[in-house]
Structure 1
Amino acid sequence: MRGAGGWWRAKSTPAKVETYTRWSFHFFGVIEVLAIGTSALGEAGAGVGLWLLLVVSVHAVIGAVTASRALDWTRGQREQPVRLLWALAAVTAVIAVGAIGLAERGPGGEEVESAAGAVFGGVLAFGAGTIALGVRDRKRVFGIVGGFAAGASTVSWPIGLPGPAALFTGFMVLLGGGFLAFTSIFSVWLLNAVYELDAARETRARLAVAEERLRFGRDLHDVMGRNLAVIALKSELAVQLARRERPEAVEQMIEVQRIAQESQREVRDVVRGYREADLGAELAGARGVLTAAGITCEMAEEPLALPAEVQSALGWVVREATTNVLRHGDAGRCAVGLRMAEGRVVLTVENDGAGTASQGAGSGLAGLRERLAAVDGTLEAGHVGDGLFRVVAEVPVTAQVQMSEVAAV
């Protein structure tokens, strides 16, 4: 059971919905056998009842295979199973005609007639609902369900069923087939919507990364564009002066050297600002991203008077932990705690819905440990319960920081 639970928790939300949808359609076949086949066996007896159970089971198996292939088609994993849809329609028609013929013309009493009539209406309803899964056009779905209902009335009346009873049979097929067709279409729509939402979340994350890269590129261009243009201009001027053996060429090259050194310093400042993370900004950003992803957040407030290097290191912990929550598992709640304890500031990030695989398997947490080591900090990460994953970062703080924190309180 633990392995089965781990297999389920390791799936993403769209994969869980797809698995649930597939087994729901397979369960339709089980319902068809149990509700129609076994009922026919109980009413008609061991002779005719076994044959009715057999044909219903064959119809249920073909319907389950058709539903699986049709669901693959709706997910774009295979071509539309046209031949299988036609085969299911043909088998449904043959079984329905045989059942109504057995009910009206075959041997047996009222029990056989009742069992055959249930098989007739049941296979038509389940057949219409399953075939509707393999088409996209709404008009075609209406045509399939209506055609099966009309066929039920048309076939049953000439065999000997009274007119009102034939109309009632068609209405019941319309009602049952319509319900199953609606269930199939709605299930596929829901599955596609879940996949689209998951893709939108991934796209939003990629856009955020792209936006950050554009910002960095824009800042770097603003810093280097003008300086490089001046360097190119002064270098060209120095070349011209050197060709004329003018002493001003040395002054121009000294100026080029100065601008190059200044550009190097400005680039370092840009990169340093890009690599440093502000704790308050990261906490606010994590709250916004997690809330947008539908995850309940319990976010701590930033403590006062933390050194800049400590804030930067803890900010990176919040950023990486938030990324792991979004990318791994299926979290519904995330709690971020920040407190002072025995001369250390402790940051805790805990989320549920963690899969069996470790969220720290990549290089992200290793990089965090290197950043925290620069400020004498430590990092612990791992599973702490059923589906719970916790990241704990501890960084020592000076006595002055602790006193300022107490004064702020």
Structure 2
Amino acid sequence: MTRAGLDHYLGRGPRPGRLFALFAVLTLLGLLLGVLLLRTGGLQPEAAPAMVWFPVFFAGPALLIHSLSVGTTWAAAAVAAGSVAAAVGGLPANTLVRMSLLAVLWASFFGFTYRTSAWSLRVVDELEASRETRARLAVAEERLRFGRDMHDVLGRNLSVIALKSELAAQLARRGADAAVDQMIEVERIARESQREMRAVLRGYRDADLFAELAGARGVLEAAGTECRVEPVDPRRMPGFSDAVGAALG
């Protein structure tokens, strides 16, 4: 019963309604059997206080399965049933009052212990789930960074290679010697792409404004567009936000 109630409290299983009803019925039958034995002489009168203590353990599972208010009501009903059974069984009134008060205290202790222990386990589960979520987010972020770097490296350099290859083909059709120079440049860019790709795979490539500007200028010049970058002292450059850094690579 405790295991089923704990699973329900932690969200690992459904509410064990039938099992709880069976638990309540068995507790009530146990009290009725005790009363019957006390009234018929099957038990000694000294056993009557046990009738008060018997349903105290009902409080713990009740507070796990139900809400705090409903569970408290069930626990109070169980303690009251035990007190009534002890009174019917012949327990003296002064002893009954004293034992009933102690039973209320012990039922409260059991219910509080069960509830707080289950709450602690739920907090631990939530912390573990948050760690797993952070780990998945870190993996997703690393994949995005890797994809962005691969796009920057291959996209820019492949654009330059395509433009220079097209230019080399046109020069070759005209019989111009400059076609050889263009193909040498294509080879150089391809080897540079290999080096940058290895750096990306090792995780050593960082976003660098001047490197990205140089790459953009290379693409524009390969397309026949004249481009000029004004020199700037890096120490006087302002810091960039994460979004700008991500856009740069």
Q: Which of 81, 102, 106 in structure 1 is aligned with 2:40?
A: 106
In the alignment, is residue 131 of structure 1 matched against residue 62 of structure 2? yes
1:172 deviation in Å? 3.4
Q: Write the mapping of 1:232-243 to structure 2, written as runs, cut at 5 A.
A: 232-238=162-168, 241=170
Q: 3-state SS of the aligned residue for 1:190? A: helix
Contact 1:132 1:185 in 2 (8 A): yes
Report the AA paired with residue 161 of structure 2. I
In the alignment, is residue 171 of structure 1 matched against residue 101 of structure 2? yes
Q: 3-state SS of the aligned residue for 1:95? A: helix
Q: Distance in 1 between matches of 2:58 and 2:41?
A: 26
Q: 1:272 to 1:70 in 2, by over 3 A?
A: closer
1:270 deviation in Å? 3.9
1:68 deviation in Å? 2.8
Q: Distance in 2 between matches of 1:258 and 1:184?
A: 71
Aligned counterpart, 1:150: 80
1:259 deviation in Å? 1.5
Q: Which of 2, 15, 28 in structure 2 is aligned with 1:80?
A: 15
Report the AA paired with residue 178 of structure 1. S
Aligned counterpart, 1:391: none
Q: Write the mapping of 1:82-231 to structure 2, written as runs, cut at 5 A.
A: 82-103=17-38, 105-107=39-41, 112-118=44-50, 120-133=51-64, 135-153=65-83, 168-231=98-161
Question: How big is each residue's C-alpha offset from its partner over 1:271-328, in whole Å with a ceiling of 9 and x where there is no partner?
Answer: 45649xxxxxxxxxxxxxxxxxxxxxxxxxxxxxxxxxxxxxxxxxxxxxxxxxxxxx
Q: Distance in 2 between matches of 1:170 and 1:232?
A: 91
**TM score, norm. by length of structure 2:** 0.63
Contact 1:231 1:256 in 2 (8 A): yes
Task: Mark the structure with the bigger radius of gyration.
Answer: 2
1:139 deviation in Å? 1.8
Report the AA paired with residue 128 of structure 1. A
Structure of greater relative contact order (alpha carbons < 8 Å, 6+ residues apart): 2
The structure whose residues are more often helix, as a share, is 2
1:162 deviation in Å? 6.8
Contact 1:67 1:130 in 2 (8 A): yes
Q: 1:77 to 1:84 in 2, by over 3 A?
A: same
Q: 3-state SS of the aligned residue for 2:44? A: helix
In the alignment, is residue 263 of structure 1 matched against residue 193 of structure 2? yes
Question: How big is each residue's C-alpha offset from its partner over 1:212-241, in whole Å with a ceiling of 9 and x where there is no partner?
Answer: 4444444444433322222233344455x2
Q: 3-state SS of the aligned residue for 1:92? A: helix
The structure whose residues are more often strand, as a share, is 1
Q: 1:245 to 1:123 in 2, by over 3 A?
A: farther
Q: Distance in 1 between matches of 2:70 and 2:168?
A: 79
1:125 deviation in Å? 0.3
Over the residues paired in the alignment, what is the CA RMSD in angstroms? 3.6
Q: Percent identity?
A: 45
Q: Distance in 2 between matches of 1:164 and 1:249?
A: 113
Q: Distance in 2 between matches of 1:138 and 1:233?
A: 73
Gaps of 5+ in 2: 206-249
Q: 3-state SS of the aligned residue for 1:80? A: coil
Q: 1:146 to 1:233 in 2, by over 3 A?
A: farther
Contact 1:238 1:249 in 2 (8 A): yes
1:113 deviation in Å? 1.9
Q: 1:269 to 1:143 in 2, by over 3 A?
A: same
Contact 1:227 1:259 in 2 (8 A): yes
Q: 3-state SS of the aligned residue for 2:45? A: helix
Q: Distance in 1 between matches of 2:174 and 2:46?
A: 115
Report the AA paired with residue 114 of structure 1. E
Q: 3-state SS of the aligned residue for 1:177? A: helix
Contact 2:62 2:75 in 1 (8 A): no
Q: 3-state SS of the aligned residue for 2:161? A: helix
Q: 1:85 to 1:245 in 2, by over 3 A?
A: same
Question: How big is each residue's C-alpha offset from its partner over 1:350-397, in whole Å with a ceiling of 9 and x where there is no partner?
Answer: xxxxxxxxxxxxxxxxxxxxxxxxxxxxxxxxxxxxxxxxxxxxxxxx
Report the AA paired with residue 187 of structure 2. Q
Gaps of 5+ in 1: 1-65, 276-409
Q: Distance in 2 between matches of 1:106 and 1:210?
A: 73
